[in-house]
Chains A and B, each alone.
Chain A
Amino acid sequence: MQSEHRTTMIRKAQPPGRLKALWQRREVLLALTFRQIRGRFSKPVVGLIWLVLQPVLLALVFSLFFGLLVRVPSNGMPYPAMVFTGVALWSLVQNAATQGANAYESAAPLLRQAPLPRLYPVLAGVFSATLDSLIALVIALLTGLAFGVHPGWPLLAAPGIVLLAMIAAFGLSALLAVLCGLWRDSRQMVPLGLQVLMFASPVIYPLSLVPQDWQRLYALNPFAGIINALRWSLLGAPAPDPVNFSISALSALVLGMTGLWIFLALEGRAADAL
């Protein structure tokens, strides 16, 4: 047959071999990402409305409650635009993490059909979450413009900042995937954990609200530096402190690498329940 040259070696795999397999089947990853996007929104127009409506409504509620009622300071930025940027980026983290936690279960039919890198469902979740987030970020940018904010050249840094967010979100997602694959009841804690992480990140408040003495420690949360930098990039907020941002950026890379490494080391054991 035409595919004679392909040989599948089945044995207890080691991480380097698994890393190579990730690249070889990239076409499948693309198809899975498309499926993830398509599967959630069976009708494109309705899907787009849902996609836009969710962050808009959330940002609206936060703006009314925290902006107008509680009067959370916004460090010179228009509060709705500030919170929208936070919510838009947070949707990436939240969706990627949630899909990661469910990755083994939701991808089970595919993993049972043909040999496939088990990281693909996780990666597809991160990619589709990023697409959602990008749409919300464009709206955040437009909200800023509507409030008379002009971002200027820092806008060019936005893709790099989003990439950093993707790496951190991937790490979190991969960790949750193996955790929930190994111990299925740990999924119960994911929504609460994400909520705590959201309040520990500058989503509804500006980074400047955190006391100066705590800024270094706070920067260990990768999303702190990422969201703050995004507000500088999209909303013309003051430039981030270089040291604090570097801490967050490094933290994001460490989280991404740790997630990848732990996933590759434990994915086999987590798959035993498939």
Chain B
Amino acid sequence: MPCETMAIEAHQVCKRFSLGGGSRPLYHLLGGEARKSRLALDRISFALAPGKALAVMGRNGSGKSTLLKILAGVIDPTSGQAVLRGQVGALLEIGAGAHPDLTGWENIRLAARLLQVPPSRRAIYYERTNAFSELGAKLDEPTRWYSAGQYARLGFAMAAMAPTDVLLIDEALSAGDAPFQLKCFDFFYRAKAQGRAFVMVSHATAVLRDLCDDGLVLNEGKAVYTGPVNEAVAHYDTLVLS
């Protein structure tokens, strides 16, 4: 498959954090503490075709979330580059994007602008997000009154119902109840058939094996395996057990 049709191409992506994650107390600087840094991602490369899903696996602190944040444009890579084709959406934590002071509906309307839903499709977007979240009258309340599960439903529905071509998801399925998770799986299969691409970070390897095509296993910032998801899960299992 020629490169121009890839949904994501990451090339030698590196991320170096100054110690403390970048936001350090000022007194560290005043105290003349030596500037330490940590290589969180070390030359990560992969390509993902439209309609495919990539599972990113690794132990805690291996750089999974950092990779997703870079792809989502939240943080910048230190070197290397990535190309994402089409509209990008991200769900980097449970209920991400929901502003606690705004009502569910206000959040949905804001999300439509953030995710660049064209004006002609906004009415459909509102309706679908409402239907998918199943929150009903709860959407008239500020989201600070939502339960964790309701927050997760709103966050997922806002990101999933937007016409994104690439969707980045970090452990977003864990908070919903079983019927909602089933609904999400159903959504993934249909969306992939429509040509949408996904990158998913999760520790639930059984789920990843079901939903994803490719796998990327990270260990201490390095890619230790890139390839079909079944082999990736096997690599991850040996990594965890070793």
Give the Cβ gap from A90 to chain B, nearest Cβ, in Å.
25
Chain B residues within an 8 Å CB radius of A212: none
Known A7-B85, A115-B73, A270-B23; contact A110-B97, beta-carbon cutoff 8 A? yes
Contact A11 B81 (CB under 8 A): yes
Contact A8 B84 (CB under 8 A): yes
Residue numbers of A with Cβ under 8 A of B are: 1-4, 6-13, 27-28, 31-32, 35, 38-40, 42, 109-116, 181-186, 268-274
Contact A274 B116 (CB under 8 A): no
Contact partner, B26, options A35, A185, A268, Cβ 8 Å: A185
Give the Cβ gap from A99 to chain B, nearest Cβ, in Å.
14
Contact A186 B96 (CB under 8 A): no
Q: How far is the CA of A185 from the CA of B76 in the complex (A)?
A: 23
Known A4-B86, A116-B73; contact A183-B78, beta-carbon cutoff 8 A? no
Q: How far is the CA of A113 from the CA of B89 in the complex (A)?
A: 6
Q: List 6 A-B contacts (CB under 8 A).
A: A7-B83, A12-B78, A12-B79, A13-B76, A28-B113, A268-B75
Contact partner, A115, options B72, B85, B110, Cβ 8 Å: B72
Chain A residues within an 8 Å CB radius of B89: 113-114
Extra contacts besides A3-B87, A9-B81, A113-B96 (8): CB < 8 Å: A3-B86, A10-B71, A11-B80, A112-B97, A113-B158, A113-B159, A114-B114, A182-B22
Known A1-B86, A274-B74; contact A183-B29, beta-carbon cutoff 8 A? yes
Contact A109 B82 (CB under 8 A): no
Contact partner, A42, options B84, B101, B158, Cβ 8 Å: B101
Chain A residues within an 8 Å CB radius of B111: 113
Contact A35 B102 (CB under 8 A): yes
The residue on B at minimum CB distance from A184 is B23
Does B36 touch A at the CB level, under 8 Å? no
Contact B21 A272 (CB under 8 A): yes
Contact B92 A112 (CB under 8 A): yes
Contact A272 B75 (CB under 8 A): yes
Known A4-B86, A35-B110; contact A183-B74, beta-carbon cutoff 8 A? no
Chain B residues within an 8 Å CB radius of A38: 102, 106
Contact B115 A114 (CB under 8 A): yes
Contact B86 A268 (CB under 8 A): no
Known A31-B110, A114-B115, A116-B73; contact A9-B83, beta-carbon cutoff 8 A? yes
Does B93 touch A at the CB level, under 8 Å? yes
Contact partner, B165, options A3, A27, A274, Cβ 8 Å: A3
Does B142 touch A at the CB level, under 8 Å? yes
Contact B81 A182 (CB under 8 A): no
Chain B residues within an 8 Å CB radius of A273: 21-23
Q: How far is the CA of A181 from the CA of B102 in the complex (A)?
A: 24
Chain B residues within an 8 Å CB radius of A40: 101
Contact partner, A1, options B23, B99, B196, Cβ 8 Å: B196
Closest 4 pairs (CB-CB, A-B): A272-B22, A273-B23, A115-B73, A113-B97
Give the Cβ gap from A224 to chain B, nearest Cβ, in Å.
29
Does B118 touch A at the CB level, under 8 Å? yes
Contact A4 B99 (CB under 8 A): no
The residue on A at minimum CB distance from B97 is A113
Give the Cβ gap from B192 to chain A, nearest Cβ, in Å.
13
Interface residues of B in 146-203 (CB under 8 A from A): 158-159, 163-165, 194-196
Q: How far is the CA of A175 from the CA of B220 in the complex (A)?
A: 35
Q: How far is the CA of A11 from the CA of B81 in the complex (A)?
A: 5
Chain A residues within an 8 Å CB radius of B85: 4, 6-8
Contact B82 A11 (CB under 8 A): yes
Chain B residues within an 8 Å CB radius of A181: 23
The residue on A at minimum CB distance from B66 is A272
Contact A185 B27 (CB under 8 A): yes
The residue on A at minimum CB distance from B195 is A1
Contact B99 A274 (CB under 8 A): no
Does B225 touch A at the CB level, under 8 Å? no
Q: How far is the CA of A1 from the CA of B197 in the complex (A)?
A: 11
Q: How far is the CA of A6 from the CA of B115 in the complex (A)?
A: 12
